[in-house]
């Protein structure tokens, strides 16, 4: 396959991964059909709306559609029949026992099988247990199609930039032709391309997310120790991160990791290890520390206020991280629920979440902005690192609160400005204040 030649491509699943892959490939000049079977999502996309917050993606989708390079359909067979390159980017949520639910992928493979030909390369982008691409290869064997595992490393909130400027691309396949085709598609990204076998590629994805989760739990445990010793956890992280063997990323102490990937992939890896008689001691500890970190935040709120019952708490940020509208496995949401259970009154605001707040936290008061949330509150809890919170007028908030206390679960750089506005600021790794004005 000629490097420069555009490839007709189908991307199955138009979630944040599938739609990002589709729109970016179209942006690179390939003709892409994105296949989505959820009627509501498809209707929104066709009407020009991306039904989740992903910076830059709506613009990319619009431009690609205007150039006639991106189409949106629910007809998987027709899209795949026209496209030699088929990416599968459907969800693999957690089942009750922690393992990955592959039913969406199995449905796709079943639909693909009758239209597959020897010219087809089926690329598994979804995060799947080790051995899944081999299984897909087995199903496709009758048609002579090739299969590759090609895990994604896109972060929500920066998925477009991550796709176009990846740190690396991993291609797991036993077929030279498939490796060459995929390498040609990714060549414009000018990053290292690692070609390996499918099992290793699948494991690289799980190991990467597990390592990121490990870094976060590590620093959260260090922050817990810092709190007792009077050391500044943020500066400890800075000092550690300056060592290139450690690196500065994913060392921000907070309320623990959440989202649709890290917790799920960790559970799947733990479950998989146990099935194969490996006791994943470290990974189990990473999960335990993550749970303890949420509880430790709640304990801090409780100790700082002398109890939760009847206290009014302003929660700023409910998504699993700033810059997204995603509430899946959000530590903030879980903490809010536990605070409500403890008898607190919750006034909640998130710039990216509207009415959905009421669905998840029916007992909370949904506020229109941070100032409204602060009204009459005994403490402000920063639970998501939304960029909008960097520009708040803390004096205005101070004039509306009952107690001038900020408990920051995200390490936002607002200590100085909030302190100047008269707040006591308590970050992760800080000791409890003596008294709150
Ligand atoms: C994660 C990985 O970072 C991506 O590389 C991967 O492709 C993606 O999962 C996936 O498997 O699809 P994402 O779920 O978007 O991406 O979120 P992250 O940016 O990794 O953050 C995960 C959680 O860790 C968030 O709750 C975040 O607030 C928290 N976090 C992150 C910290 O508490 N401290 C940090 O220093 C960094």
Q: For the residues 83-101, what does the mean pLDDT come to? A: 92
Identify whether residues 186 and 224 lie together within a single domain: no
Identify whether residues 190 and 207 lie together within a single domain: no
154 lines ligand 1 (CB under 6 A): yes
pLDDT at 16 over 80: yes
Identify whether residues 289 and 144 lie together within a single domain: no
Identify whether residues 135 and 234 lie together within a single domain: no
What is the pLDDT, as a whole number, of residue 107? 96
Task: Tell me if 4 is assigned to some domain.
Answer: no
Identify whether residues 46 and 189 lie together within a single domain: yes
Write the secondary structure of the chain as one string of H (helix), E (strand) and C (coil): CCCCCCCCEEEECCCHHHHHHHHHHHHCCCCEEEECCCHHHHHHHHCCCCCCCCCCHHHHHHHHHHCCCEEEECCHHHHHHHCCEEEECCCCCECCCCCECCHHHHHHHHHHHHHCCCCCEEEECCCCCCCHHHHHHHHHHHHCCEEEECCCCCCCCCHHHHHHCCCCEEEEECCHHHHHHHHHHHHHHCCCEEEECHHHHHHHHHHHHHHHHHHHHHHHHHHHHHHHHCCCHHHHHHHHHCCCCCCCCCCCCCCCCCCCCHHHHHHHHHHHHHHCCCCCHHHHHHHHHHHHHHHHHHHHHHHHHCCCCCCEEEEECCCCCCCCCCCCCCHHHHHHHHHHHCCCEEEEEECCECCHHHHHCCCCEECCCHHHHHCCCCEEEECCCCHHHHHCCHHHHHCCCCCCEEEECCCCCCHHHHHHCCCEEECCCCCCCCCCC
Between CA 381 and CA 426 the distance in angstroms is 10
Q: For the residues 157-167, what does the mean pLDDT come to? A: 96
Identify whether residues 151 and 296 lie together within a single domain: no
Q: Are 207 and 272 in contact (CB under 8 A)?
A: no
Q: Percentage of residues in the chain with pLDDT exceeding 70?
A: 97
Tens of pLDDT, residue by residue over 276-301, are 999 999 999 999 999 999 999 999 99
CA 401 – ligand 1 centroid, Å: 32
Task: Tell me if 100 is assigned to some domain.
Answer: yes
Tens of pLDDT, residue by residue over 378-437, are 999 999 999 999 999 999 999 999 999 999 999 999 999 999 999 999 988 776 654 666
Mean pLDDT of the chain: 95
Task: Tell me if 3 is assigned to some domain.
Answer: no
Task: Tell me if 77 is assigned to some domain.
Answer: yes
128 lines ligand 1 (CB under 6 A): no
Task: Tell me if 23 is assigned to some domain.
Answer: yes
Between CA 146 and CA 122 the distance in angstroms is 6
Task: Tell me if 101 is assigned to some domain.
Answer: yes
> Within 13 Å of residue 80, how many CA atoms lie on the same side as its CB?
27
Q: Are 12 and 86 in contact (CB under 8 A)?
A: yes
Best residue for ligand 1 mutational test, from 321, 382, 386 (most atoms within 8 Å of Cβ): 321
Pick from 196, 214, 239: which residue ends a domain?
A: 196
Count CB atoms within 10 A of the CB of residue 368.
8
Between CA 212 and CA 250 the distance in angstroms is 7
CA 58 – ligand 1 centroid, Å: 22
258 lines ligand 1 (CB under 6 A): yes
Identify whether residues 121 and 213 lie together within a single domain: no
209 lines ligand 1 (CB under 6 A): yes
Identify whether residues 60 and 144 lie together within a single domain: yes
For the domain that residue 106 is a member of, what is the CATH number? 3.40.50.720
Identify whether residues 343 and 234 lie together within a single domain: yes
Q: For the residues 326-355, what does the mean pLDDT come to? A: 96
**Domain, as residue range, for 287:** 202-437
This prediction has a pTM of 0.94
52 lines ligand 1 (CB under 6 A): no
CA 287 – ligand 1 centroid, Å: 15
34 is annotated as an active-site residue:
no
Identify whether residues 152 and 262 lie together within a single domain: no
Tens of pLDDT, residue by residue over 208-256, are 999 999 999 999 999 999 988 888 899 999 999 999 999 999 999 999 9
Count CB atoms within 10 A of the CB of residue 170.
24
Domains in the chain, number = 2
Pick from 196, 224, 239: which residue ends a domain?
A: 196
Identify whether residues 269 and 411 lie together within a single domain: yes
Count CB atoms within 10 A of the CB of residue 51.
18
Identify whether residues 171 and 53 lie together within a single domain: yes
Task: Tell me if 1 is assigned to some domain.
Answer: no
Task: Tell me if 2 is assigned to some domain.
Answer: no
- Looking at ligand 1, which atom is closest to the CA of residue 251? 36
Say which of 24, 34, 226, 261 is annotated catalytic: 261
Pick from 168, 196, 224: which residue ends a domain?
A: 196
CA 366 – ligand 1 centroid, Å: 26
Tens of pLDDT, residue by residue over 169-198, are 999 999 999 999 999 999 999 999 999 999
What is the pLDDT, as a whole number, of residue 102? 95
The band of 5, judged by pLDDT with boundaries at 50, 70 and 90, is confident
């Amino acid at each position: 396959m000629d490097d420069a030649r555009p490839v007709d491509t189908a991307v199955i699943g138009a979630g944040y991964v599938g739609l990002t892959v589709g729109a970016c490939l179209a942006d690179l000049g390939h003709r892409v059909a994105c296949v989505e079977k959820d009627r509501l999502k498809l209707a929104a996309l066709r009407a020009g709306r991306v039904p989740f917050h992903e910076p830059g993606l709506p613009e990319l989708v619009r431009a690609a559609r205007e150039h006639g390079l991106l189409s949106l359909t629910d007809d998987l067979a027709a899209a795949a029949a026209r496209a030699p390159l088929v990416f599968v980017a459907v969800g693999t949520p957690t089942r009750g026992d922690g393992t990955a639910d592959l039913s969406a992928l199995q449905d796709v493979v079943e639909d693909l099988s009758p239209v597959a030909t020897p010219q087809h390369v089926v690329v598994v982008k979804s995060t799947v247990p080790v051995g899944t691409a081999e299984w897909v290869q087995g199903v496709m064997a009758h048609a002579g199609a090739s299969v590759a595992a090609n895990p994604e490393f896109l972060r929500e909130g920066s998925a477009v930039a991550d796709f176009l400027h990846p740190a690396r691309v991993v291609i797991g396949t036993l077929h030279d032709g498939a490796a060459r085709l995929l390498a040609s598609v990714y060549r414009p990204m000018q990053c290292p391309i690692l070609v390996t076998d499918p099992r290793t590629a699948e494991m690289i994805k799980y190991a990467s997310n597990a390592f990121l989760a490990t870094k976060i739990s590590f620093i959260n445990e260090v922050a817990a120790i810092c709190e007792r010793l009077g050391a500044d956890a943020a500066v400890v992280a800075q000092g550690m991160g300056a060592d290139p063997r450690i690196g500065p990323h994913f060392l921000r102490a907070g309320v623990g990791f959440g989202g649709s990937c890290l917790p799920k992939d960790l559970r799947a890896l733990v479950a998989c290890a146990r099935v194969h008689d490996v006791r994943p001691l470290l990974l189990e500890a990473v999960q335990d520390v993550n749970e303890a970190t949420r509880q430790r935040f709640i304990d801090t709120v409780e100790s700082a206020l002398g109890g939760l019952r009847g206290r009014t708490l302003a929660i700023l940020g409910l998504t699993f991280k700033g810059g997204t509208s995603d509430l899946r496995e959000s530590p903030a949401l879980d903490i809010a629920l536990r605070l409500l259970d403890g008898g607190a009154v919750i006034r909640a605001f998130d710039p990216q979440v509207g009415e959905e707040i009421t669905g998840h936290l029916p007992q909370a008061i949904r506020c229109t902005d941070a100032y409204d949330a602060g009204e009459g509150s005994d403490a402000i809890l920063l639970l998501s690192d939304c960029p909008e919170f960097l520009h708040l007028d803390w004096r205005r908030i101070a004039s509306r609160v009952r107690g001038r206390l900020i408990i920051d679960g995200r390490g936002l750089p607002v200590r100085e400005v909030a302190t100047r506005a008269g707040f006591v600021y308590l970050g992760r790794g800080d000791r409890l204040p003596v008294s709150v004005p």
